């Protein structure tokens, strides 16, 4: 495989159903995608092209090959590297209301035990505007570099909200953009269900944080019956810190200039992101 064989990249954003899109594409036998996020053009560039290409499953019968790494949207250096290494690749960007995305990202980090229950510490832009949950939602700041380096016809921007309402239609849009054959979407159950459900029982964040150093030891045991029994006995649905209306409004105010610029860039009215009522 060569770099010229990379036909597309799903570049983000985090918590915008990009894993749903990846798994739906992987169910199509004409598509070749590695399972993990490689983060090559963002975090792992020093590993070199040979390492990157070796991550793709060998299959001579596929029509298109690509990968998903949400960090490509968040890391400014990724756009230039992608344009230099795979200049003919098509780019798929999936975006989500930045306020809801920030809270969803915080919840994911919370259940991993990577953040505390002090939600204001991580989501209040007047205190910490550069935390990951906040900065990852500045889509115009992130996207304009790609529009500077790639023709607009090679960038497809889709939206999480449309995925949840009309998944088959959204999958068809991506398939057409990538030049895949028309037909029934593969594995329709993937298109109608969430890939990652935050209501699934898990170990509480404190326990996950304490057990993190033991992860290499525990990992090989995860599929054993004894591990599953122990996990089922102690795992519970996690209760997440609530999202206060006042904090939501501060985030809306923070994102408003970027959302307006993004709307102009895409030629789309995104003002509903700024007046959305609390849920």
Domains (range + CATH), the chain: 3-197+245-274 (3.40.50.300), 205-234 (no CATH)
Cα angle for residues 179, 183, 186 (degrees, 5° grid): 95
**Predicted confidence (pLDDT) at residue 234 exceeds the cutoff of 80:** no
Query: Is the CB of residue 273 less than 8 Å from the CB of residue 99?
Result: yes
Once rounded to an integer, what is the mean pLDDT over residues 22-37? 90
**Beta partners for residue 61, in sequence order:** none
- Over the stretch 149-199, which tens digit does the pLDDT of each residue have? 999 999 999 999 988 888 999 999 999 999 998 655 555 445 455 545 555
The whole-number pLDDT of residue 29 equals: 86
**Predicted confidence (pLDDT) at residue 226 exceeds the cutoff of 80:** no
Q: Which of 8, 18, 26, 9 is nearest to 160 (CA)?
A: 18
- Over the stretch 42-85, which tens digit does the pLDDT of each residue have? 999 999 999 999 999 876 568 899 999 999 999 989 999 999 99
Helix residue ranges per DSSP H, 116-267: 119-123, 132-135, 139-149, 160-165, 167-178, 188-192, 205-211, 215-218, 225-234, 245-266
**Predicted confidence (pLDDT) at residue 128 exceeds the cutoff of 60:** yes
The whole-number pLDDT of residue 242 equals: 94
Under 8 Å CB-to-CB from 228, ≥6 apart: which residues? none
The whole-number pLDDT of residue 159 equals: 95
Among residues of the chain, what percentage have pLDDT more than 90? 64
Respond yes or no on whether the N-terminal peptide bond of residue 96 is cis (omega within 30° of 0): no
Confidence of residue 224 (pLDDT cuts 50, 70, 90): confident
Both tokens of 42, joined, read 């963002």
H or E element: which one contains 72? helix 71-74
Both tokens of 151, joined, read 């023709």
* Average confidence score pLDDT of the chain: 86
Among residues of the chain, what percentage have pLDDT more than 70? 78
**Predicted confidence (pLDDT) at residue 278 exceeds the cutoff of 50:** no
The whole-number pLDDT of residue 260 equals: 97
Highest mean pLDDT out of 21-30, 180-189, 245-254: 245-254
């Amino acid at each position: 495989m060569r770099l010229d064989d990379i036909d597309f990249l799903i570049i983000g954003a985090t918590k915008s159903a990009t894993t749903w899109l990846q798994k739906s594409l992987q169910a199509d036998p004409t598509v070749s995608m590695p399972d993990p996020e490689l983060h090559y053009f963002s975090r792992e560039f020093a590993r070199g092209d040979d390492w990157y290409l070796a991550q793709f499953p060998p299959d001579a019968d596929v029509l298109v090959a690509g990968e998903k790494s949400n960090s490509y949207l968040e890391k400014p250096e990724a756009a230039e590297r992608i344009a230099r290494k795979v200049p003919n690749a098509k780019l798929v960007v999936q975006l989500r209301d930045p306020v809801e995305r920030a809270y969803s990202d915080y919840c994911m980090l919370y259940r991993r035990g990577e953040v505390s229950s002090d939600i204001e510490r991580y989501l209040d832009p007047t205190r910490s505007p550069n935390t990951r949950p906040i900065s990852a939602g500045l889509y115009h700041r992130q996207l304009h570099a790609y529009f500077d380096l790639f023709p607009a016809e090679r960038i497809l921007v889709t939206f999480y909200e449309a995925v949840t309402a009309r998944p088959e239609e959204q999958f068809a849009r991506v398939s057409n953009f990538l030049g895949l054959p028309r037909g029934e979407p593969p594995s329709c159950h993937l298109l109608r269900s969430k890939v990652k459900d935050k209501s699934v029982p898990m170990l509480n964040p404190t326990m996950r944080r304490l057990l993190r150093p033991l992860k290499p030891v525990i990992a090989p045991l995860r599929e054993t019956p004894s591990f599953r029994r122990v996990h089922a006995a102690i795992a519970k649905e996690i209760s997440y810190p609530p999202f206060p209306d006042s904090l939501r409004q501060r985030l809306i105010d923070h994102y408003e200039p970027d959302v307006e610029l993004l709307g102009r860039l895409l030629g789309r009215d995104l003002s509903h992101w700024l007046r959305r009522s609390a849920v």
